[in-house]
């Protein structure tokens, strides 16, 4: 097996420590003459995608690729790895947001912050969602939620404010300033509907940002479905309470304004350009298609970590065995 470590020097928690991280990796393999590893420091946007693809396709060995960064770094590596039979993906969280790992429970983050754990742990299959030419493992925010995320990130980065408070505050402010929302058309494999909505969430995991959990009751990363949430204009009198409930997975308290759907394919169309954030990467389009690709990535996961959610009997669900 080969080990490829991809470091994003711009990840929020690296803070100029690239050389120190490289030394840590080298120290970890010291004394192991059989170790076959390489380190790549990304140089530009999407560098990790191309480098991963070239590296893995040039060998017949299994390659375990480590993302040392946040959502953006993992997103890039996934887009270089999907469809390749000899690649396993690991995540050492060094970003501002590590949504997939937070969905396992923030208390488990430390299990992923260990080269020993990541090098020895087994793999489990997880789903991806294809949209355009990209594959996401987290979520797509559309409309008001994408705008709130963009400005919330700006405030958190420039003023050292708590990220969740920034997202919630910007969502509240955006909802006050832009009341009407936009008209959207939705088509899934078995239904069509349309209406005026302020915000839309398409997700594969229960969390986004630094621990907001709108899909805590529903989303599982290995169930072969994506989860869609549509949010209508909410009256000012209880806007803040509704947003707080929504970000903690209690959307069911507001059935007149927030609805949940599950599907395998989805098309969203708007008469005006949509603001879209896909795993933190922004797009601006009038339409977007989504399709779930079940069990499409082998993900390195320390034993004993569970996927959030419940099955029909109310029990915990664990991630499945790898693709083999």
Domains and CATH numbers, the chain: 2-128+295-318 (3.40.50.10330), 139-293 (2.60.200.40)
Q: Is the pLDDT of residue 218 over 60?
A: yes
* C-alpha dist (Å) from residue 261 to 188, 202, 227, 229, 233: 10, 10, 6, 7, 18
Question: β-strand 2-7 against 37-41: which pairing, if any?
Answer: parallel
Distance CA 259, CA 252 (A): 8
Residue 50 burial (10 A CB sphere; 0-12, 13-18, 19+): middle
The model carries a pTM of 0.88
Question: What pLDDT, on a 0 to 100 scale, did the predictor assign at position 297?
Answer: 94
Average pLDDT over residues 127-132: 94
The β-bridge partners of 194 are: 185
- How high is the pLDDT of residue 175? 56
Average pLDDT, the chain: 86
Alpha carbon distance 52, 63 (integer Å): 10
Average pLDDT over residues 251-266: 96
Rounded Cα distance, 245 and 213, in Å: 10
The answer to whether residue 83 scores a pLDDT higher than 70 is: yes
Residue bearing the bigger pLDDT, 243 or 157:
243
pLDDT at 153: 65
Q: What pLDDT sits at residue 18?
A: 95
pLDDT score of 321 more than 90:
no
pLDDT band at 113 (very low <50, low <70, confident <90, very high): very high
- 55-59, 104-108, 179-183, range with the lowest pLDDT: 179-183
- Which pLDDT does position 107 carry in this prediction? 82
Confidence tier at 270 by pLDDT (50, 70, 90): very high
Please report which confidence band the pLDDT of residue 158 belongs to, taking 50, 70 and 90 as the band edges.
low
Q: Is the pLDDT of residue 316 over 50?
A: no
Once rounded to an integer, what is the mean pLDDT over residues 249-267? 96
pLDDT band at 167 (very low <50, low <70, confident <90, very high): low
């Amino acid at each position: 097996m080969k080990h490829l470590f991809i470091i994003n020097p711009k990840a929020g928690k690296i803070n100029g420590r690239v050389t120190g991280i490289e030394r840590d990796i080298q120290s970890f393999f010291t004394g192991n003459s059989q170790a076959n590893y390489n380190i790549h420091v990304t140089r530009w946007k999407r560098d990790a995608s191309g480098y991963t693809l070239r590296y893995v396709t040039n060998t017949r060995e299994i390659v375990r690729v480590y993302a040392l960064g946040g959502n953006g770094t993992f997103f890039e590596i996934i887009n270089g790895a999907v469809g390749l039979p000899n690649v396993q993906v690991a995540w050492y969280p060094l970003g501002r947001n590590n949504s997939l790992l937070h969905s396992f429970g923030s208390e488990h983050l430390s299990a992923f912050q260990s080269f020993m754990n990541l090098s020895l742990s087994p793999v489990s299959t997880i789903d991806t969602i294809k949209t355009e030419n990209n594959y996401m493992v987290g979520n797509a925010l559309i409309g008001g939620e994408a705008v709130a995320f963009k400005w919330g990130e700006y405030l958190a980065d420039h003023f050292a404010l708590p990220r969740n408070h920034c997202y919630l505050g910007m969502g509240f402010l955006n909802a006050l300033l832009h009341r009407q929302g936009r008209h959207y058309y939705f088509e899934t494999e078995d239904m069509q509907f349309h209406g005026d909505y302020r915000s839309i969430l398409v997700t594969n995991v229960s969390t986004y940002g630094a621990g907001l959990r709108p899909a805590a009751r529903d989303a599982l990363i290995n169930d072969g479905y994506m989860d869609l949430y549509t949010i209508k204009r909410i009256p000012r009198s209880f806007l803040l309470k509704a947003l707080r409930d929504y970000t903690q997975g209690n959307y069911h308290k507001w059935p007149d304004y927030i609805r949940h759907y599950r599907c395998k394919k989805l098309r969203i169309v708007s008469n005006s350009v949509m603001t879209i954030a896909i795993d933190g990467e922004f797009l601006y389009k009038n339409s977007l298609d989504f399709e779930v690709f079940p069990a499409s990535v082998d993900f390195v996961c320390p034993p004993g970590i569970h996927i959030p959610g419940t099955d029909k009997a109310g029990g915990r669900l664990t991630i499945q065995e790898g693709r083999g």
